[in-house]
Protein backbone atom coordinates (compact mmCIF):
# COMPACT_ATOMS: atom_id res chain seq x y z
CA UNK A 1 0.00 0.00 0.00
CA UNK A 2 2.85 2.35 0.90
CA UNK A 3 4.51 1.60 -2.43
CA UNK A 4 1.33 2.50 -4.27
CA UNK A 5 1.02 5.79 -2.43
CA UNK A 6 4.68 6.60 -3.10
CA UNK A 7 4.19 5.91 -6.79
CA UNK A 8 1.16 8.15 -6.92
CA UNK A 9 3.10 10.94 -5.25
CA UNK A 10 5.90 10.65 -7.82
CA UNK A 11 3.41 10.71 -10.70
CA UNK A 12 1.73 13.75 -9.18
CA UNK A 13 5.05 15.55 -8.87
CA UNK A 14 5.99 14.74 -12.45
CA UNK A 15 2.60 15.94 -13.68
CA UNK A 16 3.03 19.20 -11.77
CA UNK A 17 6.47 19.71 -13.33
CA UNK A 18 5.13 18.96 -16.79
CA UNK A 19 2.24 21.40 -16.33
CA UNK A 20 4.64 24.08 -15.07
CA UNK A 21 6.91 23.62 -18.08
CA UNK A 22 3.95 23.91 -20.43
CA UNK A 23 2.89 27.13 -18.71
CA UNK A 24 6.38 28.54 -19.22
CA UNK A 25 6.36 27.55 -22.93
CA UNK A 26 3.08 29.30 -23.77
CA UNK A 27 4.37 32.90 -23.32
CA UNK A 28 7.47 31.95 -25.27
CA UNK A 29 5.38 30.60 -28.09
CA UNK A 30 3.19 33.71 -28.06
CA UNK A 31 6.29 35.89 -28.23
CA UNK A 32 7.62 33.87 -31.16
CA UNK A 33 4.28 34.14 -32.92
CA UNK A 34 4.25 37.90 -32.39
CA UNK A 35 7.74 38.14 -33.85
CA UNK A 36 6.62 36.11 -36.84
CA UNK A 37 3.60 38.37 -37.31
CA UNK A 38 5.84 41.45 -37.12
CA UNK A 39 8.23 39.97 -39.67
CA UNK A 40 5.36 39.11 -41.99
CA UNK A 41 3.96 42.63 -41.59
CA UNK A 42 7.35 44.11 -42.51
CA UNK A 43 7.59 41.80 -45.50
CA UNK A 44 4.09 42.80 -46.57
CA UNK A 45 4.99 46.49 -46.36
CA UNK A 46 8.12 45.87 -48.42
CA UNK A 47 6.07 44.04 -51.04
CA UNK A 48 3.54 46.89 -51.10
CA UNK A 49 6.35 49.43 -51.51
CA UNK A 50 7.92 47.40 -54.31
CA UNK A 51 4.52 47.10 -56.01
CA UNK A 52 4.00 50.87 -55.83
CA UNK A 53 7.47 51.48 -57.25
CA UNK A 54 6.84 48.96 -60.01
CA UNK A 55 3.48 50.59 -60.75
CA UNK A 56 5.18 53.99 -61.01
CA UNK A 57 7.80 52.58 -63.38
CA UNK A 58 5.10 50.98 -65.53
CA UNK A 59 3.15 54.25 -65.72
CA UNK A 60 6.32 56.14 -66.67
CA UNK A 61 7.11 53.57 -69.36
CA UNK A 62 3.56 53.83 -70.73
CA UNK A 63 3.81 57.62 -70.82
CA UNK A 64 7.16 57.48 -72.61
CA UNK A 65 5.81 54.95 -75.12
CA UNK A 66 2.80 57.20 -75.79
CA UNK A 67 5.05 60.23 -76.29
CA UNK A 68 7.29 58.30 -78.69
CA UNK A 69 4.24 57.10 -80.60
CA UNK A 70 2.90 60.67 -80.84
CA UNK A 71 6.29 61.98 -81.96
CA UNK A 72 6.62 59.32 -84.66
CA UNK A 73 3.08 60.03 -85.79
CA UNK A 74 3.79 63.75 -86.19
CA UNK A 75 7.24 63.22 -87.70
CA UNK A 76 5.67 60.97 -90.31
CA UNK A 77 3.67 63.91 -91.62
CA UNK A 78 6.93 65.53 -92.73
CA UNK A 79 8.30 62.54 -94.64
CA UNK A 80 9.74 63.62 -97.96
CA UNK A 81 9.94 67.32 -97.06
CA UNK A 82 13.52 67.26 -95.78
CA UNK A 83 12.42 69.04 -92.62
CA UNK A 84 14.72 68.67 -89.61
CA UNK A 85 12.62 67.78 -86.55
CA UNK A 86 13.91 68.00 -82.98
CA UNK A 87 11.99 67.30 -79.79
CA UNK A 88 12.89 69.75 -77.02
CA UNK A 89 13.01 69.08 -73.27
CA UNK A 90 9.58 70.63 -72.71
CA UNK A 91 7.99 68.37 -75.32
CA UNK A 92 7.78 70.98 -78.07
CA UNK A 93 8.86 70.25 -81.64
CA UNK A 94 11.44 72.40 -83.40
CA UNK A 95 11.13 72.33 -87.20
CA UNK A 96 13.68 73.66 -89.69
CA UNK A 97 12.71 73.38 -93.37
CA UNK A 98 15.30 72.00 -95.80
CA UNK A 99 17.79 74.21 -97.63
CA UNK A 100 15.65 73.78 -100.76
CA UNK A 101 12.84 75.50 -98.85
CA UNK A 102 14.99 78.54 -98.13
CA UNK A 103 14.06 82.02 -99.34
CA UNK A 104 15.83 83.67 -102.22
CA UNK A 105 18.36 86.38 -101.42
CA UNK A 106 16.63 89.48 -100.01
CA UNK A 107 13.19 87.95 -100.66
CA UNK A 108 10.31 86.85 -98.43
CA UNK A 109 8.18 84.90 -100.93
CA UNK A 110 7.45 81.26 -100.19
CA UNK A 111 8.55 78.60 -102.68
CA UNK A 112 6.79 75.30 -103.34
CA UNK A 113 9.26 73.35 -101.23
CA UNK A 114 8.56 75.25 -98.02
CA UNK A 115 4.82 75.07 -98.69
CA UNK A 116 5.02 71.27 -98.40
CA UNK A 117 6.49 71.67 -94.93
CA UNK A 118 3.89 74.27 -94.00
CA UNK A 119 1.07 72.02 -95.20
CA UNK A 120 2.32 69.36 -92.78
CA UNK A 121 2.37 71.97 -90.02
CA UNK A 122 -1.22 72.90 -90.85
CA UNK A 123 -2.20 69.24 -90.60
CA UNK A 124 -0.47 68.96 -87.22
CA UNK A 125 -2.12 72.10 -85.83
CA UNK A 126 -5.51 70.87 -87.03
CA UNK A 127 -5.01 67.53 -85.31
CA UNK A 128 -3.87 69.19 -82.07
CA UNK A 129 -6.20 72.19 -81.58
CA UNK A 130 -4.45 73.29 -78.37
CA UNK A 131 -1.05 73.47 -80.07
CA UNK A 132 0.54 76.79 -81.02
CA UNK A 133 3.27 77.75 -83.48
CA UNK A 134 6.13 80.19 -82.98
CA UNK A 135 7.82 81.27 -86.21
CA UNK A 136 11.32 82.77 -86.22
CA UNK A 137 12.53 84.43 -89.39
CA UNK A 138 16.24 84.31 -90.24
CA UNK A 139 18.58 85.87 -92.80
CA UNK A 140 22.15 85.36 -93.88
CA UNK A 141 24.74 88.00 -93.03
CA UNK A 142 24.53 89.74 -96.40
CA UNK A 143 23.48 93.38 -96.06
CA UNK A 144 23.08 95.68 -93.03
CA UNK A 145 21.56 94.33 -89.83
CA UNK A 146 18.63 96.74 -89.83
CA UNK A 147 17.63 95.51 -93.29
CA UNK A 148 18.11 91.88 -92.25
CA UNK A 149 15.98 92.33 -89.15
CA UNK A 150 13.09 93.70 -91.21
CA UNK A 151 13.54 91.00 -93.86
CA UNK A 152 13.46 88.25 -91.23
CA UNK A 153 10.20 89.68 -89.86
CA UNK A 154 8.71 89.64 -93.36
CA UNK A 155 9.73 86.01 -93.82
CA UNK A 156 8.12 85.01 -90.55
CA UNK A 157 4.98 86.90 -91.54
CA UNK A 158 4.87 85.17 -94.94
CA UNK A 159 4.81 81.83 -93.17
CA UNK A 160 2.17 83.03 -90.72
CA UNK A 161 -0.02 84.37 -93.53
CA UNK A 162 0.17 81.02 -95.30
CA UNK A 163 -0.90 79.11 -92.18
CA UNK A 164 -3.78 81.54 -91.61
CA UNK A 165 -4.86 81.16 -95.25
CA UNK A 166 -5.15 77.42 -94.59
CA UNK A 167 -7.53 77.96 -91.69
CA UNK A 168 -5.23 78.25 -88.66
CA UNK A 169 -6.42 80.95 -86.26
CA UNK A 170 -3.98 83.84 -85.89
CA UNK A 171 -4.22 83.60 -82.08
CA UNK A 172 -2.29 80.33 -82.30
CA UNK A 173 0.63 81.86 -84.19
CA UNK A 174 3.47 84.04 -82.95
CA UNK A 175 6.09 85.57 -85.26
CA UNK A 176 9.46 87.14 -84.60
CA UNK A 177 12.28 88.27 -86.86
CA UNK A 178 15.78 87.77 -85.48
CA UNK A 179 17.92 88.73 -88.47
CA UNK A 180 21.37 87.18 -88.21
CA UNK A 181 21.45 86.85 -84.41
CA UNK A 182 20.75 83.09 -84.31
CA UNK A 183 22.19 81.55 -87.48
CA UNK A 184 20.88 78.11 -88.37
CA UNK A 185 24.13 77.14 -90.13
CA UNK A 186 27.68 78.37 -90.72
CA UNK A 187 27.23 81.61 -92.62
CA UNK A 188 30.76 81.55 -94.04
CA UNK A 189 29.78 78.98 -96.70
CA UNK A 190 27.40 79.21 -99.64
CA UNK A 191 25.36 76.30 -98.31
CA UNK A 192 25.26 77.85 -94.85
CA UNK A 193 24.04 81.18 -96.19
CA UNK A 194 21.27 79.39 -98.08
CA UNK A 195 20.15 77.55 -94.94
CA UNK A 196 20.16 80.81 -92.98
CA UNK A 197 17.70 82.38 -95.40
CA UNK A 198 15.02 80.37 -93.69
CA UNK A 199 12.65 80.12 -90.75
CA UNK A 200 12.47 77.80 -87.79
CA UNK A 201 9.11 76.87 -86.36
CA UNK A 202 8.36 75.59 -82.86
CA UNK A 203 5.11 73.76 -82.19
CA UNK A 204 4.15 73.80 -78.51
CA UNK A 205 1.55 71.35 -77.24
The pLDDT tens digits for 115-149 are 999 999 999 999 999 999 999 999 999 999 999 99
Choice between 33 and 155, residue whose per-residue pLDDT is larger = 155
Residue 148 near residue 139, CB atoms below 8 Å? yes
Mean pLDDT of 183-201: 97
CA angle 102, 104, 108 (to 5 degrees): 85
Q: 9 in a domain, yes or no?
A: no
What pLDDT is recorded for position 8? 42
Within-domain flag for 90:
yes
DSSP assignment of the chain equals -HHHHHHHHHHHHHHHHHHHHHHHHHHHHHHHHHHHHHHHHHHHHHHHHHHHHHHHHHHHHHHHHHHHHHHHHHHHTTTTTT-EEEE-TTS-EEEE--GGGPPPTT-----HHHHHHHHHHHHHHHH-TT-EEEEEE---S-S-HHHHHHHHHHHHHHHHHHHHHTT--GGGEEEEE-TTSS-SS-TTSHHHHHHHSSEEEEEE-
Q: How far is CA 171 from the centre of its chain?
A: 26
Do residues 44 and 139 share a domain? no
On whether both 186 and 169 belong to a single domain, the answer is yes
Counting the structural domains of the chain, the total is 2
**In the prediction, which pLDDT does 47 show?**
83
Q: What is the pLDDT of residue 144?
A: 97
Residues 182, 142, single domain; the answer is: yes
- Domain residues for the domain of 66 are 30-76
Mean of the per-residue pLDDT values of the chain? 88
Residues 131 and 62 grouped into a single domain? no
CATH number of the structural domain spanning residue 141: 3.30.1330.60
> Does 174 map to a domain?
yes
Smallest Cα–Cα separation from 103: which of 176, 181, 178, 155? 155
pLDDT the model gives residue 23:
52
**Does residue 173 share a domain with residue 72?**
no
Q: In sequence order, what are the residues at sequence separation of 6 or more whose Cβ sits closer than 8 angstroms to the Cβ of residue 109?
A: 103, 158
Which of 76, 107, 140 corresponds to the end of one domain? 76
The answer, yes or no, to whether residue 4 has pLDDT greater than 60, is no
- What is the reported pLDDT for 19? 47
Residue 58, domain member (yes or no): yes
The answer to whether residues 87 and 51 belong to one domain is no
pLDDT band per the 50, 70, 90 thresholds, residue 25: confident
Nearest to 183 by CA among 151, 135, 148, 138: 138
Q: Among the three residues 43, 76, 109, which one is the final residue of a domain in this structure?
A: 76
* 43: in domain: yes
pLDDT tens, 55-104?
A: 888 888 888 888 899 999 999 999 999 999 999 999 999 999 999 999 99
Give yes or no: residues 57 and 90 share one domain: no
Amino acid sequence: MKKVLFGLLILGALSACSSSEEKVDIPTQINELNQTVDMNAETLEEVKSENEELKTQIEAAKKEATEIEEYNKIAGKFDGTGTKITKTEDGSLSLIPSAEASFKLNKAELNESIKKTLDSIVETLEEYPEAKATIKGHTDATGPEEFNKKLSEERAKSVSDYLISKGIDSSRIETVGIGTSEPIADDSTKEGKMQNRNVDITISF
